[in-house]
Structure 1
């Protein structure tokens, strides 16, 4: 619901358009990771890592390749239908108005995918505008983006396109590098069109369609991946005086993800293709939400209720190239499945007084896995077919929250919630490989379940100084984790996805915003997370271990000087603490402190020149240790021109909207 940020009873962080414009980052995942409470599964960005390594992770909640947070674009989900991955580069930045991050259990409103929270991308309103960016940089980087929009009375149209190419970098450290190791080139193109129609004063219609194509190479000939994605969304919003607002949303998507895997000699001087994998998938879904008119009963109540449903289907078709061929060697594997899911929720926002607001939400979800099958073919011509029995499960997700403002400038928040995440088709049926490590699927996986609570205080002081402190405690039951097997499987697989007992994730977030003068803005944030395995039936060595890919410390500091007649400059410091690659905590990765810079200056008319640098001091630090060490991005710099010829200043703040929760 549209409301002032300070009134939202859950901790919410917003990256406004102005901060996006000044960010040195090039891709959306890198931008979101500047918030210490948000990260992706691996330290490598989408510039050099395919989407299976880019799952969203909020507050260190057991990171994995599958996102434990929901990503929305104008209210409709963009998480991949097969694996729960996020195709970050399919989300162009030029048309965005803001990004909202709610790093707390959100299943009570949004269902399965929102176990760890929600990231929502909000588009700019459609008005007369022509925007364009073009830049070039080292590492063979070239980027171009353009957006044009206009409005004719009740109809608005927006067209946006973006293209990026990069040679990447040598991702394997020099001491481990062999003759097969090269750069990590990638490129993508994405385009989308949006049409909005104000059919009547009460009825608003919107539709969007888009296309995305991405190709990547992981640094060797046979470590390549590609994505082809098309999607559409449609929505209708009807406002009535007596019965409230009704909003209908529909979406659909079809995609094809392909990946090559390699078998590499220990000296990394020779490789052969070990597998070819194609993963076609599609999904369709919709939601209907009602928000009632304000009621008066011991205070003010705003009731809301909604229902949504989704069908996801996909397959993983794999051609294998065994190192030694025998009559029983497995040479192809095909898995497929369908997941039907849906939920219904009710919510009451109860404003007892201007100082106190209570929010209660309750949601029921059900899902069914069906049509699951596995077909394995061997060199001797035999084939084994396995059909997996349909499975149905459900989950009740409550949430209670309170916001208290005893005096102006001081806000207290607290909430308790239950959330869950059903296993994806990818986790149920698709094996995968990172480096030299093979991980098997598991069709018997159950849902992850979370109990959590948070409490915080926000204070506003003189000269725009705002400080926030939030403590949180989450208990994750049966998290789906890549577990190291005591004995490898016959095909050499050393890990398998399993529901691993229980993990406790607790911590604290600190943040401050300060504008000491008109030209100066300071933003600082820090997140401490203590992610520990507390129960691991059958894996006693894991109890007390830190969750992998989960640093305890993350922080950021940025200072911006903005004087339009002179220049705009942002200096940013990102700090990431040490973490482990594996569940046994045997392969550690050190922390790093990275400095980024952005500078722009107006040239003429609506044109500005800019320069952006990431990892200014070329700090070398590890991103992964899965069989072979891999490096995070080195020094990256680019220069470019930016055109902003828009009339969006015509829109008032009310028309542009305020943060949505």
Structure 2
């Protein structure tokens, strides 16, 4: 990589493009590594991005989240714009990008005090993965609750966790789409298939406690998907077909009419899935896991003046899934509206207002299965309507100088979440007191206020400080049980109010050009979801009960990282982290193995290290090695002494990735990536062990004519069989999934 001549020019210096974003693991130095374009187009690319930076102040940009709505290539307030960097044939490169998630303000990625990973659009396009959850899981420190992808698993098994922070079906990481939370209002899980990738500009991943800026749900970090800007007429499309009846049709069109711009995006995917039960346990009832979904997203931007811009969005999503038997199904319908207004003034700074609302209905059927899996019957049918509404206001002050340069920002947000689980039960035998229906739900109000100062003492030394106060209140909590006799038992839960103060301190120091040091300490929290408080659920033969007495999880954490660039083409990064999770909400096995219940476990220590090496071997060859070690150990468990010293469930200690890419636009672009996951346990007692997995993925593309590419991709190239879950029945991870297709990019 090019050496840095100064802190100012380095903020916009040219960086090599790296091959595979899905393997560009957590850069401790908060540096994005992206693949370089070929020499014939590098100068044009650099000039285009520089021109975009100059004009971005006068047109709304879709590539920044709703909190800031800042252009990707915008300069930092109070600092002059550097000249466009030169581009040579020997060293193709592009200007450094700006990120927003780590500080809720636009900043060059190299200057962000916290660890940040950026997956740019080019690498998203080249990834062999099909769904968004599979894409983010290729980062060694990012995982979902189970190893099964959203192609065959409903969202309740897709909770996101980063750095091994007590995985569960609930996401301990906040997921945003342009600043708007997409975590489910009832359960906190993520509908990954509602987030198509064709309209994405990049994905930003910020591991570590993020509650100081984002409040609840950001206990383990923040993942933000950022939409592409609407620069003018554009048409993109993907058409693919693969084995196991997998077909995908995606399209995006965009147009601009003076100060008004619009974009429309759709995605349709269908698949026959695959048998998920292991051959040894598979019975007559087991078959494939078919699924399908459709997404329709629309967006309109209006630049009313040089200072004021407006954005409105509408999102529709529908999904149907089958878990492999007649009576294991899931369905979801979702609609969301959001709007943003951004006012930029010379004297008072920038104000950004976001409003959003969402309504959805999640349905799920569960089966009662014979021990030999030859017969099944309907055990329960659930309907879960939910909705949420929210607003946020963020103010970014003009820079001011007192012993250095200060970048001050503040904001407040509020959100209302409501949902009810209505469940009909079909017991095999009935007595007067047999339960035949359950209803549970409530309402949660959450509000927060934050203040942040980014204090650059010198261009090479910066301190960051953030503080946030959150208050949340659970109201109208209710559980009702109906019995065969006609009796109905209702339990109303007392309203509860809690609060949390979340600080964060950070340091970035660049003692010399080739070395960047970062350190931070933080406190974070996650309030229990309505799902955890009130709704029971079942996976396989294991029933997990809710717990209305759950308290918030709280986290103390610290991390420190170093990034070294001894050569222009070589970057090495290491980050160590130490987290103490207090009162983690886990699924605890009840005495006698009669089932499980959500409980505040006591305390868990999650410590580890992330390391990566990026090496551009030549203009055409790039390689990456990344490894994450996590030690997730229970250190205190009142009432459950057998759990002390155990490893947290669904949390492997070792995860690694290796990739190799060859890129010659005149010939072919080829990527091979290897992902390794160590052994882990299904349960809290560490009795149901699942072995490690080693999976190879590959992608290949070639330009056919004009702007049309032929591409092929395969996941699990060698059809490696490995366990994904052991909840009553052993289930498998994805087998070999291959597809070929045509890709049209920027046709207008």
* TM-score greater than 0.5 by the shorter chain: yes
Partner of 2:343: 238
Any unmatched runs of 5+ in structure 2?
1-104
Is 1:79 aligned to residue 183 of structure 2? yes
Matches of 1:155 and 1:514 in 2, distance apart? 43
Partner SS, residue 113 of structure 1: coil
Offset at residue 463 of structure 1 (A): 3.2
Partner of 2:21: none
Is 1:527 aligned to residue 628 of structure 2? yes
Aligned partners of 2:665 and 2:702 also within 8 Å: yes
Is 1:360 aligned to residue 465 of structure 2? yes
Give 1:290's match in structure 2, choosing from 395, 406, 411. 395
Partner of 1:267: 372
Is 1:3 aligned to residue 104 of structure 2? no
Matches of 1:349 and 1:395 in 2, distance apart? 22
Offset at residue 487 of structure 1 (A): 4.5
Matches of 1:256 and 1:464 in 2, distance apart? 50
Give 1:126's match in structure 2, choosing from 193, 205, 230. 230
Matches of 1:439 and 1:369 in 2, distance apart? 21
- Measured against aligned partners, the alpha-carbon deviations of 1:119-150 in whole angstroms (never above 9, x if no partner) come to 01111110221000000000110001000001
Offset at residue 568 of structure 1 (A): 0.7
- Measured against aligned partners, the alpha-carbon deviations of 1:487-535 in whole angstroms (never above 9, x if no partner) come to 46xxxx5100000000000000001222222222222211100000000
Find runs of 4+ consecutive structure 1 residues off by over 4 angstroms.
none
Partner of 1:638: 739
Q: Considering only aligned residues, what root-mean-square deviation do their CA atoms show, in Å?
A: 0.8
Matches of 2:139 and 2:185 in 1, distance apart? 26
Where does 1:146-185 land on structure 2 (aligned, <5 Å)?
146-185=251-290
Matches of 1:188 and 1:84 in 2, distance apart? 20
Offset at residue 461 of structure 1 (A): 3.0
Give 2:581's match in structure 1, choosing from 476, 488, 500. 476
Is 1:387 aligned to residue 492 of structure 2? yes
Where does 1:30-179 land on structure 2 (aligned, <5 Å)?
30-127=134-231, 128-179=233-284
Is 1:495 aligned to residue 599 of structure 2? no
Partner of 1:656: none
Aligned partners of 2:441 and 2:531 also within 8 Å: no
Where does 1:361-376 land on structure 2 (aligned, <5 Å)?
361-376=466-481
- Measured against aligned partners, the alpha-carbon deviations of 1:37-65 in whole angstroms (never above 9, x if no partner) come to 10100000000000000001100110000
Offset at residue 646 of structure 1 (A): 4.9
Offset at residue 389 of structure 1 (A): 0.5
Partner of 1:344: 449
* TM-score of the two chains, using structure 1 as the length reference: 0.97
Partner of 1:586: 687
Give 2:121's match in structure 1, choosing from 17, 31, 42. 17
- Measured against aligned partners, the alpha-carbon deviations of 1:183-237 in whole angstroms (never above 9, x if no partner) come to 0000000010011111111111111101000000110111000010000111111
Matches of 1:52 and 1:58 in 2, distance apart? 17
Partner of 1:595: 696
* TM-score of the two chains, using structure 2 as the length reference: 0.85
Is 1:226 aligned to residue 331 of structure 2? yes
| Number of equivalenced pairs | 643
Matches of 1:536 and 1:317 in 2, distance apart? 33
Aligned partners of 1:43 and 1:624 also within 8 Å: yes
Matches of 2:622 and 2:215 in 1, distance apart? 37
Matches of 1:399 and 1:98 in 2, distance apart? 26
Partner of 2:505: 400
Matches of 1:487 and 1:177 in 2, distance apart? 27
Partner SS, residue 30 of structure 1: helix
Where does 1:613-624 land on structure 2 (aligned, <5 Å)?
613-624=714-725
Aligned partners of 1:82 and 1:426 also within 8 Å: yes
- Measured against aligned partners, the alpha-carbon deviations of 1:317-363 in whole angstroms (never above 9, x if no partner) come to 00001122111100000112000000000000000001100000000
- Measured against aligned partners, the alpha-carbon deviations of 1:141-171 in whole angstroms (never above 9, x if no partner) come to 0001000001111111000000100000010
Offset at residue 290 of structure 1 (A): 0.3
Partner of 1:485: 590
Matches of 1:524 and 1:237 in 2, distance apart? 41
Matches of 1:77 and 1:524 in 2, distance apart? 32
Larger mean Cα displacement after TM superposition, 25-34 or 457-466: 457-466
Offset at residue 251 of structure 1 (A): 0.8
Matches of 1:34 and 1:420 in 2, distance apart? 26
Partner of 1:445: 550
Aligned partners of 2:311 and 2:340 also within 8 Å: yes
Where does 1:414-429 land on structure 2 (aligned, <5 Å)?
414-429=519-534
Aligned partners of 2:661 and 2:672 also within 8 Å: yes
Partner of 2:302: 197
Greater strand fraction, Structure 1 or Structure 2 = 1
Is 1:335 aligned to residue 436 of structure 2? no
Larger mean Cα displacement after TM superposition, 343-352 or 10-19: 10-19
Partner SS, residue 385 of structure 2: strand
Matches of 1:561 and 1:234 in 2, distance apart? 42
Aligned partners of 1:149 and 1:158 also within 8 Å: yes
Any unmatched runs of 5+ in structure 1?
648-661
Offset at residue 409 of structure 1 (A): 2.1
